[in-house]
Amino acid sequence: MNDPAHNCCPDLQVEAEHQHAHASPVSEEAIEKAILSFDNLGIAASTLCLIHCMAMPFVIAFLPFLGLQFLEGHQSHIWLAGFIWTFALFAIVPGYLKHRKIGILIGMIVGLSFVSLAVFGANTLIGDRAELYSITLGNLILVGVHWKNRGLCKCCASH
């Protein structure tokens, strides 16, 4: 058990010793690919949200000319937050169940809390300036958490 490879996934050897006699209907490889795909989508959604929030002050005047005025509305923020939540839940939670690194789960909760505060509390709990800081911080945390989750899941898969 002093093998450094086991530091990545401490329960890996225990799980291997206690595998069920029958095969599960979904392979570990398929689950691994799904987690990595959702991590990639989570990184993309959080990055897209960051770009959207940072660029809006500069492009807002051009949106009506391009027929994209819906991008400035609150509804677009709700949709982006929905994607961010979905990808986080479908990547980070199953990833956590594999690698058991509590910091990843805490990071997801903190990141999603900042994103949710910005989207749903902008007009009531925080001001416009704090909204930009909150959404930026939340998305940066989530990108980092997805990135770390990917690495941990790949590490677990390589054993």
Express each pLDDT in 107-130 by its tens digit: 999 999 999 999 888 777 777 778
Q: CA angle, 116 as apex, 131 and 61 as ends, to 5°?
A: 45
**Is the entire prediction scored with pTM above 0.85?**
no
Rg of the chain taking only CA atoms, in angstroms: 19
Domain tally, the chain: 1
Domain span at 17: 4-157
Interval 78-108: pLDDT, tens: 888 998 999 899 899 999 998 999 999 999 9
Angle at 142 between CA 5 and CA 101, to 5 degrees: 30
The confidence band for 8, taking pLDDT boundaries of 50, 70 and 90, is low
Query: Furthest-apart CA pair in the chain: how many Å?
Result: 64
pLDDT in tens, 50-72: 777 777 666 666 655 665 555 56
